[in-house]
Amino acid sequence: MGEQQHVKFPQEVIDEYAALGVDLPALFSAGHLGTRMGVQIVEASAERVVGTMPVEGNTQPYGLLHGGASAVLAETLGSVGSMLHGGSSKIAVGVDLNCTHHRGARSGLVTGVATPLHQGRSTATYEIVISDEQGRRVCTARLTCLLRDVNPGDGEHLRPAN
């Protein structure tokens, strides 16, 4: 669960963040929570973010994928898309997340696909569809992020720890 896959970013985006001293693929390994949950981001652009998460280890007492785990996957993917939309001068901060759970998943991987519903100057809203390995919709989520200007001191949080 802890191994890291290479995240696919457009080269111009990688270059933009590299000029700021930020290793974008390392930054978007889904963070400590995502690592514990096995989240892997496999494709990322402002127009589409795709990630996976194992069901095993992320279940509730009945053995079904925990709704909170789906929320973590959804917020991770929508936040990445929002951040890429905002660019290197903005920070994406989630302000609203809602999830509708359609069916349970007991095993395998779930895949989330985030696509933009709104890409504005100060907010971005993404729809995230999470499906099981048979392509059946498990959860539909919507995330809205505030896009705020980067402030002095924010850079400490944008750079991965060495």
Name the catalytic one among 16, 43, 47, 75: 75
115 exposure class (CB count in 10 Å sphere: 0-12, 13-18, 19+): middle
Whether 75 is catalytic is yes
CA distance 146 to 151: 14
Strand ranges of the sheet holding 137-149, from the earlier edge strand across to the other edge: 40-45, 48-54, 109-119, 123-131, 137-149, 90-101
Where in the sequence numbering do the catalytic residues fall?
Answer: 75
